[in-house]
Amino acid sequence: MDLKGKFRYIFFDADDTLWENEQYFRAAEAKFIELLADYTTPEGVQDMLWRKQEDNIPLFGYGSKTYMIGMTDAALELCGGTLPEHIYYGIKKIITDLAFHELEIIEGVKETLEALQGRYELIVATKGDLPEQMGKFRSSGLSHYFHHCEVMENKDEKNWLEVAAKHNLRPEEILMIGNSVKSDIAPVVSLGGWAIHTPHEVVWVHEMMDMPQNDRIIEVKNIREILSYLL
């Protein structure tokens, strides 16, 4: 499929598309399970954390701050309603390490952006906590490739329509590149847009869903392969 000349803008997901992210949340989860080892099984800690996260995301959105609330809620319940001091400070350290880790740019990203820069207007389209996501964007060393960074409340159809309107685009003029089927692929193509799926070996359970069957979805093995469709 040849997409050359069809789009003015290309939207890129950030976490686990431009830089590594989920692996750090998995590491934080492992530390949390170890911290609560005296209270229940690893599976019990993990299940409680996931349930609290699902409860909190609609209220507080995405990001490490919400993760800290989820960990605190999970620990409080597992500890019987009273949070020991060492558990609280253990959670705080886990989240501090998570929020301030050095960004690791995914292989092939810089070369791909360099090849596209000047031919398209590139925009980051991510979701989560605004200060946290903008902090990552600015510290990534990639910001000079991009025209703009959109931090959405979510990445559902409503949010994508708002982004399209902001940039004076019809939904069918959206081209999104990302790793999440739920956030980057499904809502865009359901509106009539196009999407390129760049897979990542680690996927957050909250983002898991089956790939829709749609002729406007392209699946590649890595981000470098998008150039064969765009240049």
Instruction: Say if residue 15 is in the same domain as residue 27.
Output: no
**215-230: average pLDDT:** 95
pLDDT-based confidence at 63, cuts 50/70/90?
A: confident
Asked, for residue 2, whether it belongs to a domain, the answer is: no
CATH of the domain at 177: 3.40.50.1000
Domain finish residue from 50, 71, 99: 99
Instruction: Say if residue 110 is in the same domain as residue 218.
Output: yes
- Copy the structure tokens of residue 186: 């499904």
Using only C-alpha atoms, the chain has a radius of gyration, in whole angstroms, of 19
Angle of CA points 139, 11, 205, to nearest 5°: 80
pLDDT-based confidence at 57, cuts 50/70/90?
A: confident
Instruction: Say if residue 70 is in the same domain as residue 127.
Output: no
* Domains held by the chain: number: 2
Instruction: Say if residue 172 is in the same domain as residue 69.
Output: no
For residue 157, what pLDDT is reported? Answer: 94
Asked, for residue 52, whether it belongs to a domain, the answer is: yes
**58-64: average pLDDT:** 82
For residue 178, what pLDDT is reported? Answer: 95
Asked, for residue 3, whether it belongs to a domain, the answer is: no
- Note the pLDDT tens digit of each residue in 108-148: 999 999 999 999 999 999 998 888 889 999 999 999 999 99
Say which range, 190-194, 204-208, 222-226, has the weakest mean pLDDT. 204-208
Instruction: Say if residue 137 is in the same domain as residue 197.
Output: yes
Instruction: Say if residue 157 is in the same domain as residue 84.
Output: no
61 contact partners, CB below 8 Å, separation of at least 6: 127, 128, 129, 153, 154
Residue 209 pLDDT greater than 80, yes or no: no
For residue 1, what pLDDT is reported? Answer: 76
Instruction: Say if residue 128 is in the same domain as residue 117.
Output: yes
- Note the pLDDT tens digit of each residue in 66-93: 889 999 999 999 999 999 999 999 999 9
CATH of the domain at 64: 1.10.150.240
Q: In this predicted model, which residue has the larger pLDDT, 100 or 140? A: 140
Residue 202 pLDDT greater than 70, yes or no: no
For residue 203, what pLDDT is reported? Answer: 64
Give the residue numbers spanning the domain of 218.
9-20+104-230
Domain finish residue from 59, 83, 99: 99
Domain finish residue from 83, 99, 115: 99
| Average pLDDT along the chain | 92
Instruction: Say if residue 95 is in the same domain as residue 124.
Output: no
Residue 16 pLDDT greater than 60, yes or no: yes
For residue 206, what pLDDT is reported? Answer: 55
One-letter-per-residue 3-state SS of the chain = CCCCCCCCEEEECCECCCECCHHHHHHHHHHHHHHCCCCCCHHHHHHHHHHHHHHHHHHHCCCHHHHHHHHHHHHHHHCCCCCCHHHHHHHHHHHHHHHCCCCCECCCHHHHHHHHECCEEEEEEEECCHHHHHHHHHHCCCHHHCCEEEEECCCCHHHHHHHHHHCCCCHHHCEEEECCHHHHHHHHHHCCCEEEECCCCCCCHHHCCCCCCCCCEEECCCHHHHHHHHC
